[in-house]
Structure 1
């Protein structure tokens, strides 16, 4: 089973690192049965985040045929500003929809062996690309109105499990998202073991 965390220019680092760390620990708990990797639509490359130029390296290309999870983070940057001059978060999320990631995500969402998951503005990126209309989802509290305007059924919960689409709210909810994915796939003992290792207890009720 694979967990692919999708990097794109302007991504939010914590949206990626929080679930990456949790899933990597979960992989160790299940004897390496879960492969966790950073990917991009363009293949291996350094990807610049939206937080002070922090760079993470994608080590593989996003593969929609791999069974498991495909996790899309949100973006980091200013919320307000002239969109023609400033790479605001809405600009970065909209730009995601112009990349090669969109057809790959469409393929992933059509694959019955893949669960697509998002952290924070990741659901907005998919929604603005027209990929989750009519689905149940959540995003950061500042983007709920925009998410609803795209035709998504907004659910006010920290994690929303809509079957093959699992979304989470603000940036730290990536921890809760990943723990939920571990529990869903490998059972509560694995999830609790990772909670104990991280000294973190999940917040909120998962909406299903």
Structure 2
């Protein structure tokens, strides 16, 4: 068997070039991963480092009351709940408008267990929150106990908030008069019935009234609230924890950015809920 001297020398040179990387790989393999105890110690050190970040407010005593009613949209509630419940020291309650603490079904059947009834809820919450929905929201708008609760707690809450058509509930409780607010695009036109000025935006702040647009805007709303309560550094920490860096797979999500044929059809399909909500709002006026 014969060898090409040049090819042989090139091969040896290649192995020589890889030597530092092979040595590093062997050294890394020889280092044992940290034990649970060591990982806990490092986590404690990291917590201290996070607390030392300028502007970081790690602990506070916020109380958050989040309304539940049959037919609410789960994501309206779950997105903000994630951020509220992640705030160290905050107390978050899920308030049902039903007579028992049985799980409350969302519009798509996802049931969530409440922790308080209307009469048991925080008297003066830092945040009063109402999620939206479709027919379930219209039913809640027409429920005196629910509206009385929102009106009472809203008069004392530090922040009065909602996502999606939850703003229609705030409007029914008289909490949006003279305020700018948003809602799901299909319900935004109903807001003037309550003396509110509708705004086409993901999150709208007017004094202590903070409203989010439809469904997915609940994540934006939740982060905006954390920033207001704890500052930008804390909000960024939770944003990273949630890995919230949205990149929609395709364009759309608003009437203006959706194929007109689809947008027009969807608006027609959602028209009855809008009409029912408007009818309930006007019934109160008369």
Match of 1:20 among 81, 90, 94: 81
Using the TM superposition, give the Cα deviation of residue 155 of structure 1 relative to its aligned residue in structure 2, in angstroms.
1.6
1 CA distance for matches of 2:167 and 2:124? 21
1 CA distance for matches of 2:220 and 2:77? 13
For residue 184 of structure 1, give the secondary structure of its aligned residue in structure 2: helix
TM-score using structure 2 length: 0.59
Aligned to 2:125: 67
Say whether the 8 Å CA contact 2:69–2:140 is kept in structure 1.
yes
Say whether the 8 Å CA contact 1:68–1:114 is kept in structure 2.
yes
1:53-93 CA-partner distances (Å, limit 9, x unpaired)? 22111111242523311110001xxxxxxxxxxxxx2x422
2 CA distance for matches of 1:187 and 1:202? 21
Match of 1:45 among 95, 99, 102: 102
For residue 11 of structure 1, give the secondary structure of its aligned residue in structure 2: coil
For residue 169 of structure 2, give the secondary structure of its aligned residue in structure 1: helix
Aligned to 1:79: none
1:119-162 CA-partner distances (Å, limit 9, x unpaired)? 00100222245442322100011112122343211122110111
The number of equivalent residue pairs is 182
1:173 matched to 2:212? The reply is no
2 CA distance for matches of 1:68 and 1:128? 21
Match of 2:149 among 64, 88, 104: 104
For residue 39 of structure 1, give the secondary structure of its aligned residue in structure 2: strand
Aligned to 1:83: none
For residue 95 of structure 2, give the secondary structure of its aligned residue in structure 1: strand
1:9 matched to 2:9? The reply is no
Cα–Cα, structure 1 residues 160 and 202, in superposed 2: closer, same or farther, change >3 Å? farther
1 CA distance for matches of 2:137 and 2:125? 25
1:23-67 CA-partner distances (Å, limit 9, x unpaired)? 122x2xxxx32112211134633111111x221111112425233
TM-score using structure 1 length: 0.80
Match of 1:159 among 194, 199, 203: 203
For residue 113 of structure 2, give the secondary structure of its aligned residue in structure 1: strand
Say whether the 8 Å CA contact 1:40–1:101 is kept in structure 2.
no
Aligned to 1:193: 237
What's the C-alpha RMSD, in Å, of the aligned pairs? 2.0
Runs of at least 5 residues in structure 2 that lack an aligned partner in the other structure: 1-61, 248-286
**Structure with the higher strand share, 1 or 2:** 1
Segments of 4+ moved more than 6 angstroms: none
